[in-house]
Structure 1
């Protein structure tokens, strides 16, 4: 399975520079929860170093890890779509250094500059599609009688 498009591959240089001008660097220790499913999505991250596991709450069981994200990947897309609630959870599985973005600021910039907004929407949409596919495959692996059928 291919990973989600990185910000470098997904956004033209001018839009990438504009987005990165809004970033602040943050660090997370192993085991830090970045967000919980169902809570307010007010920020997002692009990973510089380390790994973050996306997980899905499964009633009566431990959370199912859906995908692991690494360098250059977007952590969190729920900030982009109303009602701005996380659809998954996320946890640092190694020490993480990342760029953090305030969601309201980025959404405002998207509204002010339609070309920038379209580029961000396409990038985030591709990430959502990739995560949906990863979730489907992982849940089939975990819970279907014969798995996903992947080789």
Structure 2
């Protein structure tokens, strides 16, 4: 938390865009953020909404450090913001911290992938895809 700085975003604010450089991340303290994916020919589709206590952003940890999703506030958000480079440096110095952080980020990635798959099947899959498809 020594690396954290408090930040706030008004409602309806784009925090980051899919494909942009991922050089920071946040832990949401209050409010909600919609995560979206750009669907060719259809625009942005919200795949998940995250709120207080959630990690916002994981793409900063892995090359090429580009956002895999976009993010927009649904209401005013307060968060702790972290500089990704400083956190990566700290993890390199402290492998126990690094492993703990990678574990949390991996769980977040798994959750986001499941949410994205489910949402996209709901929106664009054949009728009944969710009920009859394999569970991840």
TM over 0.5: yes
Partner of 1:9: none
The number of residue pairs the alignment matches comes to 131
Residue 36 of structure 1, CA deviation: 0.3
Partner of 1:80: 61
The 2-side partners of 1:26 and 1:96 are apart by 8
Q: How does 1:67-106 map to 2 (within 5 A)?
A: 67-106=48-87
Q: How does 1:16-27 map to 2 (within 5 A)?
A: 20-27=1-8
Residue 56 of structure 1, CA deviation: 0.2
TM-score using structure 2 length: 0.94
The 1-side partners of 2:6 and 2:112 are apart by 24
Residue 121 of structure 1, CA deviation: 0.4
Partner of 1:129: 110
| Structure 1 runs of 4+ with >6 Å offset | none
Partner of 1:142: 123
Q: How does 1:28-107 map to 2 (within 5 A)?
A: 28-107=9-88
TM-score using structure 1 length: 0.85
Greater strand share, 1 or 2? 2
Q: CA RMSD in A?
A: 1.0
Residue 62 of structure 1, CA deviation: 2.6
